[in-house]
Amino acid sequence: MAPAWSGSAEVTARIGVLVSGSGSNLQALLDAAADPWFPADIVKVVSNVPGVLALDRAARSGVATEVVDHRGRARAEFEADLLRALGDVDIVCLAGFMRVLTGAFLSAFPGRVLNVHPGLLPLFPGLHAPRQALAAGVTQAGATLHLVDAGVDTGPILAQGTVPVLQGDTEATLAARILTVEHRLYPMALRWIAEGRVVVEGGRATIALKTGESRWIGG
Ligand code: GAR
């Protein structure tokens, strides 16, 4: 069972990152955490897919890695193994992790599981958000950083950023443009969570300011 994390300016949060692919968001977090002033350390990276680039990125930064393959096993068993692999981390970051997690997993880290999604939620949840955006003909796309709840891409929104959809965009060119926003937002949102500044009320997140006021951060 993970220790309760209430956030602290003095204590560095221990972060576990779940990945399934290339790990460019993991790289953004590793780069941010290399700054001694960043309030979080990446201590474990777990992939459900063997051999992915994300595992190499973690190893290059000296972070422990593990593969927990989801194939051919019951979800409860897979999630129990993920929890074991994560160990005593305080916060879990999903970074291109392509499995849905149930309440059984999430209850081990209440309000402390973050996800990045390549769409402006609540529009285009689920798979292939850039493809969905192109199909819908929108002129603005973007990324969402949110806390994870038991729904699919439904948890409280921490931060969003937009990019234009350009003439001639393909799914690949749009996804690449959206990734640049993801890489900017993820370390920022992780900092807020690590410092214990995020308050969730009625499904909406606000960030506590040093003045004692709180500011809406959902937009
Ligand atoms: C990112 O665009 C992320 O938002 C998306 O997968 C990509 C992973 O890239 N995640 C999802 O679609 C989750 N439903 P990365 O492995 O280079 O960070």
Instruction: Judge if the beta carbon of residue 114 lies within 6 A of ligand 1.
Output: no
Instruction: Pick the atom of ligand 1 nearest to 24's CA.
Output: 17
pLDDT value of position 215: 66
- 76-90 pLDDT per residue, tens: 999 999 999 999 999
- Nearest protein Cα to ligand 1, atom 2: 118
User: What is residue 3's predicted lDDT score, i.e. its pLDDT?
Assistant: 43
Mean pLDDT (the chain) is 93
Reported as a single tens digit per residue, the pLDDT across 30-79 is 999 999 999 999 999 999 999 999 999 999 999 999 999 999 999 999 99
Task: Determine the Cα–Cα distance for residues 139 and 70; give it in Å rounded to an integer.
Answer: 37
Architecture of domain 11-110: 3-Layer(aba) Sandwich (3.40)
**Domain spans, the chain:** 11-110, 116-143+155-219
Q: Is the pLDDT of residue 219 over 60?
A: no
* Predicted TM-score (pTM) of this structure: 0.94
pLDDT confidence of residue 9: 60
Q: Give the burial class of 116: count Cβ atoms within 10 A of its Cβ; 0-12 exposed, 13-18 middle, 19 or more buried.
A: buried
The CATH number of 116-143+155-219, from 3.30.300.30, 3.40.50.170, 3.40.50.300, 3.40.50.970, is: 3.40.50.170
24 lines ligand 1 (CB under 6 A): yes
More confident position, 9 or 214: 214
Question: How high is the pLDDT of residue 1?
Answer: 37
- Tell me the two tokens of residue 131: 């493809």
Residue type, 100: V
Residue 140: partners with Cβ closer than 8 Å, 6 or more residues away: 120, 162, 163, 164, 165
pLDDT tens track for 154-180: 999 999 999 999 999 999 999 999 999
Which atom of ligand 1 lies nearest, measured to the CA of 21?
A: 16
State residue 204's pLDDT score.
94
Q: Which pLDDT score is estimated for 8?
A: 65
DSSP-assigned states of every residue in 43-54: EEEEESSTT-HH
Cα-based distances in Å from 202 to 155, 169, 199, 206 = 11, 37, 10, 11
pLDDT at 21 over 50: yes
167 contact partners, CB below 8 Å, separation of at least 6: none
